[in-house]
Amino acid sequence: MSDGAMMTVDAQPPDAAAARCDGGPGMLLYQDRDHDGFGDPMTSALRCEAGPGWSDNNKDCNDEEAEVHPGQTNFYGSGYRSDSNITRTSFDYNCDGSESAAPDQELGPETCQGVLLMLICGHSGFAPNLERAGIPGINAYCGSNIIASCDALLCQPHQMTGEVHYACN
């Protein structure tokens, strides 16, 4: 492992039957605590068969959340506490290293510009999530429920809190 992380290997001594594994040495498997089919790359063991709670795939980026795994296609308005950074909420549900916005979500205007630009004045959408704004490497809009709009008559900024949250994957 190039990042300096240590791998935990199951220290349980194998019984005689498990050691034989029908003449083979066994398989390197990874613990799958959330039972999503993807194992924790930091917890492995040599075993004869996968069985419940074990996987031959070590690509899970959060083995405490069944909704978090490679290939996840759903989008969520609330994040989860990341294994790698427990002080921050993550929206990287598909373990690709980024937080992608759901399609067709509108971003609110940064400014309202003049009565002649009615298209801009009438525009509204999500404003950045103040808890996430300014943190490098994350999508600042994920989880936001602040709707920013421009009053079309006065073309002045207006914000309100909505019930729907900006969803990410």
Where a domain ends, among 60, 84, 107? 60
| Nearest C-alpha neighbor of 31 from the set 68, 11, 57, 13 | 57
Where a domain ends, among 13, 45, 60? 60
In the block, which residue shows the tokens 């039972």?
Answer: 35
Per-residue pLDDT in tens (0 to 9) along the chain, 169 residues: 344 444 444 544 444 444 557 777 788 999 999 999 999 999 998 888 888 899 999 999 999 999 999 999 999 999 998 655 556 789 999 999 999 999 999 998 877 776 555 555 667 899 999 888 788 888 999 999 999 888 766 677 778 898 999 999 9
Shared-domain flag, residues 39 and 101: no
| Nearest C-alpha neighbor of 34 from the set 85, 96, 93 | 93
Distance CA 102, CA 97 (A): 16
Shared-domain flag, residues 143 and 97: yes
Where a domain ends, among 10, 43, 60? 60
Shared-domain flag, residues 47 and 78: no
Residue 97 tokens, joined: 């290293």
Shared-domain flag, residues 93 and 111: yes
* Number of structural domains in the chain: 2
31: domain range? 1-60
